[in-house]
Amino acid sequence: MSPALSVTAISLVVVATIGIGLFGLRISRTTSDFYVASRAVSPRWNASAISGEYLSAASFLGVAGLVLVNGADMLWFSVGYTVGYLMLLVLVAAPLRRSGAYTLPDFAETRFESAAVRRICAGLVVGIGTLYLLPQLQGAGLAVQTVTGAPPQVGAAVVTVIVVINVAAGGMRSITFVQAFQYWLKLTALAAPIFVILLVWHQPTGVLDSLHGAAAAWAEPLSRAGGRDHPLYATYSLLLALCFGTMGLPHVLVRFYTNPDGRAARRTTVVVLALLGLFYLFPPMYAVLGRTFAPDLVSTGGDTVVLELPGRVFPGTAGDLLGALVAAGAFAAFLSTSSGLTVAIAGVIDQDLLRSRLHRWTGGDYVAVNSFRIAALIAMIVPYLAFTVTGALSLADTVGLAFALASSTFCPLLVLGIWWRRMSTTGAAAGLVVGGIAASAAALVNVSGGPQGGWPRALVGQPAAWTMPLAFLTVIVVSKLTPDRIPAGTARSMVRLHTPEAVDVDRGPATLINRPSSAAHPSRPA
Q: Where are the domains of the chain?
A: 3-232+253-390
Let me know how long the chain is. Answer: 526
Rounded distance between C-alpha atoms, residue 401 and residue 446, angstroms: 9
Task: Look up residue 211 and give its DSSP letter.
Answer: T
Which residues make beta-bridge pairs with 503? Answer: 512
Rounded distance between C-alpha atoms, residue 264 and residue 97, angstroms: 9
- Give pLDDT, residue 150: 83
Q: What is the pLDDT of residues 275-319, one digit of tens each?
A: 999 999 999 889 888 888 888 888 777 788 898 889 888 888 888
Which residues make beta-bridge pairs with 512? Answer: 503
Task: Look up residue 227 and give its DSSP letter.
Answer: G
Indicate whether 404 pLDDT > 80. yes
- Give pLDDT, residue 203: 56
Q: What is the pLDDT of residues 16-59, one digit of tens each?
A: 887 776 765 555 555 555 555 555 566 777 888 888 888 887 78
Band of the pLDDT at 521, cuts 50, 70, 90? very low
Indicate whether 513 pLDDT > 50. no
- Give pLDDT, residue 124: 92
- Give pLDDT, residue 319: 87
- Give pLDDT, residue 518: 40
More confident residue, 83 or 101: 83
- Give pLDDT, residue 406: 92
CATH 1.20.1730.10 fits 3-232+253-390, yes or no: yes
- Give pLDDT, residue 134: 85
Q: What is the pLDDT of residues 118-153, one digit of tens each?
A: 999 999 998 888 888 888 888 888 888 888 888 888
- Give pLDDT, residue 3: 81
Who contacts 401 (Cβ-Cβ below 8 Å, separation ≥6)?
A: 131, 439, 442, 443, 446, 447
- b/e code 214-233 from CB counts within 10 Å (16+ = b): ebeebeeeebebeebbbbeb
Of 100-104, 169-173, 249-253, 404-408, the one with minimum mean pLDDT is 169-173
- Give pLDDT, residue 511: 38
Neighbours of 516 (CB within 10 A): 12
Mean of the per-residue pLDDT values for the chain?
79
More confident residue, 88 or 206: 88
Indicate whether 257 pLDDT > 70. no
Give the count of alpha carbons within 13 A of 165, CB side only: 18
Rounded distance between C-alpha atoms, residue 329 and residue 307, angstroms: 10
Indicate whether 526 pLDDT > 80. no
More confident residue, 50 or 485: 485
Q: What is the Cα 403 distance to its own chain's centre?
A: 8
- Give pLDDT, residue 419: 94
CB 460 within 8 A of CB 450: yes
- Give pLDDT, residue 429: 96
With vertex at residue 222, the alpha carbon angle to CA 465 and CA 195, rounded to the nearest 5 degrees, is 105
CB 40 within 8 A of CB 192: no
3-state secondary structure of 521: coil
Rounded distance between C-alpha atoms, residue 59 and residue 109, angstroms: 33
Indicate whether 388 pLDDT > 50. yes
Rounded distance between C-alpha atoms, residue 474 and residue 470, angstroms: 6
Rounded distance between C-alpha atoms, residue 78 and residue 40, angstroms: 30
Indicate whether 430 pLDDT > 90. yes
Rounded distance between C-alpha atoms, residue 203 and residue 394, angstroms: 32
Q: Is the CA virtual torsion 317, 323, 326, 331 positive or negative?
A: negative
What are phi and psi for residue 512, nearest 5 degrees? -100, 125
3-state secondary structure of 512: strand
- Give pLDDT, residue 146: 82
Indicate whether 7 pLDDT > 60. yes
Q: Determine the average pLDDT of the residues in 442-461.
A: 80
- Give pLDDT, residue 326: 92
Neighbours of 250 (CB within 10 A): 27
Band of the pLDDT at 10, cuts 50, 70, 90? confident
- Give pLDDT, residue 523: 39
Rounded distance between C-alpha atoms, residue 304 and residue 106, angstroms: 40
- Give pLDDT, residue 82: 87
- In whole angstroms, how far apart are CA 12 and each of 156, 272, 302? 17, 26, 26
Indicate whether 393 pLDDT > 70. no
The residue among 439, 453, 420 whose CA lies nearest residue 240 is 439
Q: What is the pLDDT of residues 321-373, one digit of tens each?
A: 999 999 898 888 888 888 888 888 888 888 777 765 555 544 444 455 577 77
Q: How far apart are the first and last CA of the chain?
A: 49
Rounded distance between C-alpha atoms, residue 283 and residue 201, angstroms: 18
Band of the pLDDT at 187, cuts 50, 70, 90? very high
Indicate whether 403 pLDDT > 60. yes
- Give pLDDT, residue 485: 95
With vertex at residue 427, the alpha carbon angle to CA 423 and CA 428, rounded to the nearest 5 degrees, is 80
CB 179 within 8 A of CB 52: yes
- Give pLDDT, residue 363: 46
Q: What is the Cα 437 distance to its own chain's centre?
A: 21
Band of the pLDDT at 214, cuts 50, 70, 90? very low
Q: Determine the average pLDDT of the residues in 176-204.
A: 83
Give the count of alpha carbons within 13 A of 460, CB side only: 17
Indicate whether 502 pLDDT > 90. no
- Give pLDDT, residue 112: 93
Amino acid identity, position 147:
V
3-state SS track over 424-436 = CHHHHHHHHHHHH
Neighbours of 30 (CB within 10 A): 14
- Give pLDDT, residue 432: 96
